[in-house]
């Protein structure tokens, strides 16, 4: 056994990992065995849940046959949507390759449910940057604001709690929809657990029974045993190139919820009168379905990697959110570097660890939908797939990186080690000393 580990260390050394970094990460990893067991249990439960849904709806090889044109009577597409509804505990689902990304899925959800004169409320503060132009917080061509739909938000308290009084005051006759972002995005706040989301929805619906509650579920699927749709959400929304695609989905998004919500969304995605009846699968149903089957295990690997990252960088003295001991409710790990060079070095290390484009160096650039330059490490098989090992961050204070993904834990582990090697190269002597110790 010792010989095997020696061979593994030599393999890491060939890949650019020094002995001190290798041993430093091993020590931290060994301290996380109990936490890893908890993550394994959640993945086991969710795997059985997905398998049950596929068996219940008699998934067969015939469902993987491609359709073209209008896509009428696409039994594979329709069966996959039944499986999604079953897995997420909803009445219906819309799972389509025609939904291009998470922002598109969220935009579809908002624009399909809201009408001129309605108001949208966010009780958890500002939404993710790319939604600002959709809503009209920043000027955007075709925004909700241009259609006479107003927006109101209630920020979390400085302690990260819901402002119950502020939320109650913000609810009014025009409040048609409440949007709840589960993950923190680039905001400096805690990610919301399913339990907390359920408490918030219960509070809101007690005061306004006809309001629709939508949850941006991106990065949160299969992290817990329950999903927001099982604690009162009328609609949950996500991207297939994040958690539920399991690393196999090459495009797509999903909406799961009540029949009425999904019907409105389908009419908005295609056309009034057509709805869910059209939308050819073009031969990708198998990868979407198999990706969902693999998703609980892939999410498990990403979660373990995020937990390892939190404990490594916390040990080095950086602020990490969530910290190394907190419970986890999405796959994202924030690390505050307070230094643009360290942020860039981390992303360079993650890029260098990638199976695709490992030889390129990420540079900050003006990404569409953001208010500052963003640096992104994303050497993925599927372009932009943040369920694969990736990291990004805006080039502004506090120069925080948002690290996520990893199809295998072993890959995330290597990525963490290589990020340390690149940070060592910045010449920060205190960091090097801590690693050696």
Residue 146: cis peptide before it, omega within 30 degrees of 0: no
CA 299-84-75 angle, to 5 degrees, is 130
- The pLDDT assigned to 372 comes to 83
Which residues are bridge partners to 335 per DSSP?
320, 401
Angle at 318 between CA 406 and CA 307, to 5 degrees: 30
Q: Does pTM surpass 0.85?
A: yes
Whole-angstrom Cα distance, residue 263 to residue 267?
A: 6
User: pLDDT of the chain along its 437 residues, tens only?
Assistant: 455 668 889 999 999 999 999 999 999 999 999 999 999 999 999 999 999 999 999 999 999 999 999 999 999 999 999 999 999 999 999 999 999 999 999 999 999 999 999 999 999 999 988 899 999 999 989 999 999 999 999 999 999 999 999 999 999 999 999 999 999 877 778 899 999 999 999 999 999 999 999 999 999 999 999 999 999 999 999 999 999 999 999 999 999 999 999 999 999 999 999 999 999 999 999 999 999 999 999 999 999 999 999 999 999 999 999 999 999 999 999 999 999 999 999 999 999 999 999 999 999 988 776 778 999 998 999 999 999 999 999 999 999 999 999 999 999 999 999 999 999 888 776 666 666 55
Cα–Cα distance, 147 to 136 (Å, whole number): 10
- Residue 1 has a pLDDT of 45
Whole-angstrom distance, CA of residue 385 vs CA of residue 345: 21
Block residue for tokens 């003295």: 317
Question: Which run of H or E residues covers position 335?
Answer: strand 333-336
Q: Write the CB contacts of 193 (distance below 8 Å, at least 6 apart in sequence).
A: 224, 327, 329
Nearest-angstrom CA–CA distance, 126 and 138: 12
Distance CA 76, CA 61 (A): 9
**pLDDT score for 435:** 67
Cβ 153 vs Cβ 126: under 8 Å: yes
Q: Torsion angle of alpha carbons 297, 302, 304, 309, nearest 10°?
A: 170
Q: Report pLDDT for 223.
A: 98
The DSSP string of 60-113 is -GGGG----TT-TT-HHHHHHHHHHHHHTT-SEEEEETTS-SHHHHHHHHHHHH
Q: Which domains does the chain have, with CATH numbers?
A: 2-45+293-436 (3.90.1150.60), 66-282 (3.40.640.10)
Can you tell me whether residue 180 is helix, strand or coil? Answer: strand
Nearest-angstrom CA–CA distance, 86 and 437: 50
In the prediction, which pLDDT does 394 show? Answer: 92
């Amino acid at each position: 056994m010792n010989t095997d580990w020696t061979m593994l260390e030599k393999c890491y050394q060939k890949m650019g990992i020094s002995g001190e970094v290798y041993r430093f990460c091993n020590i931290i990893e060994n301290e996380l065995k109990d936490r890893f067991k908890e993550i394994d249990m959640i993945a086991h439960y969710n795997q059985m849940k997905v398998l049950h849904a596929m068996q219940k709806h008699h998934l067969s090889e015939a469902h993987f046959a491609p359709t073209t044109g209008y896509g009428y009577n696409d039994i594979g597409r329709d069966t996959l949507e039944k499986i999604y509804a079953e897995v997420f505990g909803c009445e219906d689902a819309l799972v389509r390759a025609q939904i291009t990304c998470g922002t598109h899925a969220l935009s579809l959800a908002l624009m399909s449910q809201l009408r001129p004169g309605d108001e949208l409320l966010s009780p958890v503060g500002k939404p993710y940057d790319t939604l600002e132009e959709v809503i009209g917080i920043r000027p955007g061509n075709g925004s909700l604001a241009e259609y006479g739909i107003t927006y109101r938000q209630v920020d979390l308290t400085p302690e990260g709690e819901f402002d119950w009084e502020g939320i109650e005051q913000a609810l009014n006759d025009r409040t048609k929809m409440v949007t709840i972002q589960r993950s923190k995005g680039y905001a400096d706040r805690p990610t919301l657990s399913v339990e907390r989301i359920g408490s918030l929805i219960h509070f809101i619906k007690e005061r306004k029974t006809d309001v629709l509650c939508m949850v941006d579920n991106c990065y949160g699927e299969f992290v817990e045993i329950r999903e927001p749709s099982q604690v009162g959400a009328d609609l949950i929304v996500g991207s297939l190139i994040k958690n539920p695609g399991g690393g196999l989905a090459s495009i797509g998004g999903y909406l799961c919820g009540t029949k009425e919500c999904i019907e409105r969304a389908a009419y908005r995605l295609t056309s009034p009168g057509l709805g869910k009846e059209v939308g050819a699968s073009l031969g990708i149903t198998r990868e979407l379905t198999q990706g969902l089957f693999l998703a609980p295990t892939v999410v498990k690997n990403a979660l373990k990697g995020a937990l390892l990252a939190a404990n490594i960088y916390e040990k080095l003295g950086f602020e990490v959110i969530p910290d190394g001991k907190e419970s986890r409710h999405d796959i994202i790990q924030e690390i505050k570097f307070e230094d643009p060079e360290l942020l860039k070095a981390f992303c360079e290390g993650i890029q260098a660890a990638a199976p695709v484009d490992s030889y390129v160096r990420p540079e900050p650039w003006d990404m569409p939908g953001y208010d500052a330059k963003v640096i992104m490490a994303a050497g993925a098989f599927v372009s932009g797939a943040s369920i694969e090992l990736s990291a990004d961050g805006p080039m502004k204070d506090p120069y925080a990186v948002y690290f996520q993904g990893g199809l295998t834990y072993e890959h995330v582990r290597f990525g963490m080690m290589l990020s340390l090697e690149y940070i060592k190269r910045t010449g920060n002597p205190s960091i090097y000393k801590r690693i050696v110790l």
